Structure 1
Amino acid sequence: MFTVDSISIRYEQKSVINNFSFSVKKGEIVSIIGPNGSGKSTLLKAVSRLIPYHTGTVILDGTDLKSMSAKQVARKMCMLSQKNQAPSDMTVIDLVSYGRYPHKKWFERLNQEDMDIVHWALEKTHLIEYKDRAVASLSGGESQRAWIAMALAQRPLIMLLDEPTTYLDISHQHEVLELVRELNQDMGMTIVMVLHDLNQASTYSDSIVVVQAGEKAMYGTPNEVMTTDMIRDVYRMDAEVQYVQTEKKPRIHLLSTVR
């Protein structure tokens, strides 16, 4: 479905991502974790083609990403950044409608089929009653759902989310991640997201990529990745990892910084 093969990214003469490879299966939720400055968001931006990569290959649904036009990429993949802004007077339905433009010709107007998809995206994100509200008037969680609705309206095969819970309080973080899980389970949508919270990554992911200083430190299931050794080596923290019989995913309890 989605394969990153040996990509390297440089800023000027500095190497930021080194020979990085991982693959994502159709219908998976994959989280990218790692310390601040490790290259998580840079990696996601590169595989979404927002920034160039120096060497390597990204294959999306069997096609080399570099051989695809921007519109072809947008029809198959959508990227949402950490913080998104809309004009102050833009309504939710107008924002979501923008998701249809990768499927339209230049200056071609939206038709009834497009508007049906827009309303479907609003319903999927539980925003139908907010459709005429200004995006700027929404709460943090509602606003994030509106941007996800826009992404849904593109009807992509894969959605990339760069720290989707940043700037949100605990309840809105839970709301957004539950929506991501719902889209994955109900629609089979493939999700790749950058997360900071280790317990959120453990709970909501099928697989986890660990980035350390621009390199892949680990890649596997939450049970394989979330170990005391990984947390100590990558985050320089001592931790307890609890395995509860009634749950399939481990819980992480951070204890102290490694001296």
Structure 2
Amino acid sequence: MFTVDSISIRYEQKSIINDFSFAVKQGEIMSIIGPNGSGKSTILKAISRLIPYHKGKVMLEDMNLKSMSAKQVARKMCMLSQKNQAPSDMTVVDLVSYGRYPHKKWFEKLNHDDMEVVHWALEKTHLTAYKDRTVSSLSGGESQRAWIAMALAQRPKIMLLDEPTTYLDISHQHEVLELIRELNAEMGMTIVMVLHDLNQASRYSDNIVVVQDGEKAMCGTPNEVMTEDMIRQVYRMDAEIQYVSSEKKPRIHLLSTVR
């Protein structure tokens, strides 16, 4: 469904990402992990066309992303950045309504069908009771759900999330990731997200791609990727891996820095 084929990215003549490839199947949750500065968010920005790549290609349902219009991309794929800001007086329902504009002509107003989608997105993200609140009055977890609702209103097939748990406390991190997994399970939505927390990546992902110094270090299931050797080589940390019988996925216990 979604293929990144040997893309390379430069910034001011400096190579940031080198010959990077991976593929995401329909209905899959793929997490991108790696140390700070390894290029995780850069890859996601290139996939979403926020920044250019000078080599390689990204294929979305057999179409080259570079040949698609902005509206064509927005109807199939949405991107949520680390930091999202709305005007202080904007209500939740108004924010979510913006998700419908990729489906409208220039200056075309939202109609009844559009508002049905908006209310569906609010319901899916458990925000119906908050629809008339201003976005600025929401808690961190509620605000992140509101932005996800806006993305849902686009009715995309693929959702890209750049560190969706950043700046959230533990309970709100859990809330947002559970929502993402719920949307994936109920709607078959394909998810590609950048995560810092290794245990969150292990628990919530079908597959994981590891970035190290702008290159792909590993790609596979959590059981294949989350190994003591990978963590030592990529993160320079000693760790112990425990398998939780209820989830059958590895749980990582970081021990000490490799010297």
| Fold equivalence (TM over 0.5) | yes
CA distance in 1, matches of 2:234, 2:226: 11
CA distance in 2, matches of 1:61, 1:99: 21
Residue type of the alignment partner of 1:55 = K
Q: Which secondary structure state, in structure 1, belongs to the residue aligned with residue 244 of structure 2?
A: coil
1:33 corresponds in structure 2 to: 33
Per-residue deviation, 1:62: 1.3
Q: Which secondary structure state, in structure 1, belongs to the residue aligned with residue 49 of structure 2?
A: coil
**1:108-187 alignment to 2 at 5 Å?**
108-187=108-187
**1:1-259 alignment to 2 at 5 Å?**
1-259=1-259
Per-residue deviation, 1:248: 1.5
Residue type of the alignment partner of 1:39 = G
Per-residue CA deviation, residues 130-149 of structure 1 (Å, 9 max, x unaligned), is: 00000000000000000000
Per-residue CA deviation, residues 91-138 of structure 1 (Å, 9 max, x unaligned), is: 000000000000000000000000000000000000000000000000
CA distance in 2, matches of 1:120, 1:244: 35
CA distance in 1, matches of 2:37, 2:199: 20
Residue type of the alignment partner of 1:33 = I
CA distance in 2, matches of 1:126, 1:246: 27
CA distance in 2, matches of 1:145, 1:155: 15
Structure 1 segments of 4 or more deviating over 2 A? 244-247
Show structure 2 runs of 5+ residues with no match.
none
Per-residue deviation, 1:61: 1.3
CA distance in 1, matches of 2:207, 2:116: 34
Residue type of the alignment partner of 2:101 = Y
Q: Which secondary structure state, in structure 1, belongs to the residue aligned with residue 147 of structure 2?
A: helix
CA distance in 1, matches of 2:155, 2:244: 37
Per-residue CA deviation, residues 127-175 of structure 1 (Å, 9 max, x unaligned), is: 0000000000000000000000000000001000000000000000000
Q: % of aligned pairs identical?
A: 86
CA distance in 2, matches of 1:179, 1:37: 28
Q: Which secondary structure state, in structure 1, belongs to the residue aligned with residue 106 of structure 2?
A: coil
CA distance in 2, matches of 1:170, 1:83: 18
Q: Which secondary structure state, in structure 2, belongs to the residue aligned with residue 219 of structure 1?
A: strand
Q: Which secondary structure state, in structure 2, belongs to the residue aligned with residue 250 of structure 1?
A: strand
CA distance in 2, matches of 1:204, 1:95: 27
Aligned length: 259
Per-residue deviation, 1:245: 2.6
Residue type of the alignment partner of 2:100 = R
Per-residue deviation, 1:243: 1.4
TM-score, normalised with respect to structure 1 = 0.99
CA distance in 2, matches of 1:22, 1:252: 24
Q: Which secondary structure state, in structure 2, belongs to the residue aligned with residue 82 of structure 1?
A: coil
Per-residue CA deviation, residues 176-201 of structure 1 (Å, 9 max, x unaligned), is: 00000000000000000000000000
Per-residue CA deviation, residues 71-107 of structure 1 (Å, 9 max, x unaligned), is: 1100000000001000000000000000000000000
